[in-house]
A = this chain, B = another copy of it.
């Protein structure tokens, strides 16, 4: 079977449940909160390009990207629901971009007002990364509103970049070949699909082919930017995790578009490297705070997991492209893991505060253990480097893209939640209270084969109709209704014992949702709690904070004779107790307290 072509958020309406609530929260609260913080911090006004030496709020070289990611999110919101005020904010920003770009179409705030002589000379200064995000925003706005102005601006800019970097015909000769922070590659491929202009595919291919392969790059051959090897020879995930995720996404995208078998193989190797040894149980990636990087295989400490929210989002992008290419449910499993855990933990329940670093274990008396400048116990309203909040804006407003894929009558149901897919003659409807239960009713019209992902975590799948399993999907022939049940139940999960930090410990998942204990629910230190997996006696009830369940389970509390000696004779007593667990993604929404995903067991 050839790869599946369609995964368009515009064809999918979320009609209820967990993700509809998040879509609404993002539209009603998060979008405005991010815009307000960006206004206060000077990011919005920076688009006026009137900053001068001596003024405060000097634009940073990544500010453009923060705001255009918000614009991309705004476009998705507008595609769902008209909002004149929101549209005016976007139009005002497009006005400023149009006005302040140069005659070649070049637009970059920092290299216009702070370092105007620096254009295309500083590989580490996010110039093409900002451009790439602008292209994504322009495509999204065009698709949402039908208005071409922003897309024209982006295409003109892309043409100038092509003339400079690929054709060598521009007025400026770049001092580097590939961007220090990837993003433009995947953006160009997206713009290629939106415009059918082959130039953008070719420029993306040029950047990907040049990475780690070009002589001029001698100075930039590092793992941090994944420039250590030509991309087709890269078989391990290394370096800065967001750079990596955006690169791997573009690689998979180009491999898919061009049927490049060598590139596909590299993507598969990198994928396997991540999911077999470098990903947290939450989907978090990029274990190492220093450099926000991937660590060695099985190096996955809990108290200092870096796990940038953007890195989880980049894993969703990569996984989704891999699924389009390979049509295997295992990729959608990882999208789901990120959705409910690695990505979602980044946003407060109130919708206006954010984690940048996402640790799996937090002791409020030992915050330094997190090791990163973004280690906190409480979500923040904005960060100096505030990439994650608008990344959540654009992701939560376009979640429908991850729910379905379809191609000539075949429909893949990848994610679960109340929703309707409509495209041409195809109509698929889901009714479910997932992830509170694993039961999903699906109605399919105009469908030849309905392919329903059976999650990797599911151990007891049942369906109301006959099916065959194929690549992790239950395939139901023809139209009609089907009810599936994934038999959701709380499960103790262990890590491969090469993960030193998790030895002797387990965590709990309920379906795709990873749980944690918070100190506020479990009086006293979490480090003295042990699960009792032989005799759990689960209690499960709907969580009033989110569309998940909360759990309680048998455990033990270890008590030891008080003493102030660093080492002393073992004198532990284990008293039975109940351990209360909440979804990991909602931790840190009450008063500041300890949190741990993994606990010891006995």
Interface residues of A (CB under 8 A from B): 275-277, 279, 281, 296, 298-299, 303, 366, 368-369, 459, 491-500, 503-506, 525, 527-528, 530, 533, 560, 564-572, 600-602
Given A500-B303, A504-B504, A505-B504 in contact, is the A494-B602 Cβ separation under 8 Å? no
CA gap between A528 and B496 in the complex, in Å: 11
- B497 contacts A525, C-beta separation under 8 Å: yes
- A498 contacts B567, C-beta separation under 8 Å: no
- A494 contacts B566, C-beta separation under 8 Å: no
- A276 contacts B566, C-beta separation under 8 Å: yes
Q: List 17 A-B contacts (CB under 8 A).
A: A276-B564, A279-B566, A459-B569, A491-B570, A492-B570, A494-B560, A494-B568, A494-B569, A494-B570, A496-B567, A503-B527, A503-B600, A504-B504, A504-B505, A506-B570, A533-B570, A570-B601
Given A303-B500, A503-B527, A504-B504 in contact, is the A495-B570 Cβ separation under 8 Å? no
CA gap between A240 and B276 in the complex, in Å: 37
Name the residue of chain B whose CB is nearest to the CB of A600. B504
Q: Cβ of A298: which chain B residues have Cβ within 8 Å of it?
A: 366
Q: Cβ of A275: which chain B residues have Cβ within 8 Å of it?
A: 566
- B566 contacts A500, C-beta separation under 8 Å: no
Query: Looking at the complex, which one of B277, B459, B572, B601 makes contact with A494 (CB distance below 8 Å)?
Result: B572
Name the residue of chain B whose CB is nearest to the CB of A282. B567
- B572 contacts A366, C-beta separation under 8 Å: no
Shortest A77–chain B CB gap in Å is: 35
Shortest A319–chain B CB gap in Å is: 15
Query: Looking at the complex, which one of B281, B368, B567 makes contact with A281 (CB distance below 8 Å)?
Result: B567
Shortest A601–chain B CB gap in Å is: 8
Shortest A493–chain B CB gap in Å is: 5
A491, A530, A566 — which one has the most chain B CB atoms within 10 A of its CB?
A566
CA gap between A560 and B504 in the complex, in Å: 13
CA gap between A279 and B279 in the complex, in Å: 32
Shortest A235–chain B CB gap in Å is: 17
CA gap between A405 and B496 in the complex, in Å: 53
Shortest A110–chain B CB gap in Å is: 33
Query: Looking at the complex, which one of B494, B500, B567, B600 makes contact with A495 (CB distance below 8 Å)?
Result: B567
- B600 contacts A496, C-beta separation under 8 Å: no
- A492 contacts B569, C-beta separation under 8 Å: yes
Given A503-B600, A504-B504, A504-B505 in contact, is the A497-B528 Cβ separation under 8 Å? yes
Q: Cβ of A496: which chain B residues have Cβ within 8 Å of it?
A: 565-567
CA gap between A299 and B371 in the complex, in Å: 12
CA gap between A374 and B235 in the complex, in Å: 29
Shortest A215–chain B CB gap in Å is: 31
Query: Looking at the complex, which one of B495, B528, B530, B600 makes contact with A566 (CB distance below 8 Å)?
Result: B495
Shortest A248–chain B CB gap in Å is: 18
Name the residue of chain B whose CB is nearest to the CB of A531. B570
CA gap between A492 and B571 in the complex, in Å: 9
- B277 contacts A568, C-beta separation under 8 Å: no
Q: Cβ of A504: which chain B residues have Cβ within 8 Å of it?
A: 504-505, 530, 600
- A566 contacts B277, C-beta separation under 8 Å: yes
Name the residue of chain B whose CB is nearest to the CB of A530. B504
Name the residue of chain B whose CB is nearest to the CB of A491. B569
Query: Looking at the complex, which one of B303, B500, B568, B572 makes contact with A369 (CB distance below 8 Å)?
Result: B500
Q: Cβ of A497: which chain B residues have Cβ within 8 Å of it?
A: 525, 527-528, 560
CA gap between A525 and B366 in the complex, in Å: 31
CA gap between A493 and B567 in the complex, in Å: 6
Given A504-B505, A504-B600, A505-B504 in contact, is the A494-B366 Cβ separation under 8 Å? no
Q: Cβ of A602: which chain B residues have Cβ within 8 Å of it?
A: 602
* 4 A-B pairs with least C-beta separation: A492-B570, A504-B600, A504-B504, A494-B570
CA gap between A493 and B568 in the complex, in Å: 5
Q: Cβ of A368: which chain B residues have Cβ within 8 Å of it?
A: 296
CA gap between A299 and B368 in the complex, in Å: 11
Q: Cβ of A525: which chain B residues have Cβ within 8 Å of it?
A: 497
Shortest A171–chain B CB gap in Å is: 46
CA gap between A444 and B527 in the complex, in Å: 50
Query: Looking at the complex, which one of B281, B498, B564, B566 makes contact with A366 (CB distance below 8 Å)?
Result: B498
Shortest A342–chain B CB gap in Å is: 13
Q: Cβ of A570: which chain B residues have Cβ within 8 Å of it?
A: 491-494, 506, 533, 601
Name the residue of chain B whose CB is nearest to the CB of A558. B497
Shortest A570–chain B CB gap in Å is: 4
CA gap between A459 and B499 in the complex, in Å: 37
Name the residue of chain B whose CB is nearest to the CB of A525. B497
CA gap between A495 and B368 in the complex, in Å: 20
Shortest A566–chain B CB gap in Å is: 5
Q: Cβ of A560: which chain B residues have Cβ within 8 Å of it?
A: 494, 497
Q: Cβ of A296: which chain B residues have Cβ within 8 Å of it?
A: 368
Shortest A513–chain B CB gap in Å is: 14
CA gap between A566 and B494 in the complex, in Å: 8
Q: Cβ of A567: which chain B residues have Cβ within 8 Å of it?
A: 281, 493-496
CA gap between A590 and B570 in the complex, in Å: 30
CA gap between A567 and B491 in the complex, in Å: 12
Shortest A289–chain B CB gap in Å is: 14
Name the residue of chain B whose CB is nearest to the CB of A514. B567
CA gap between A275 and B566 in the complex, in Å: 7
CA gap between A279 and B565 in the complex, in Å: 11
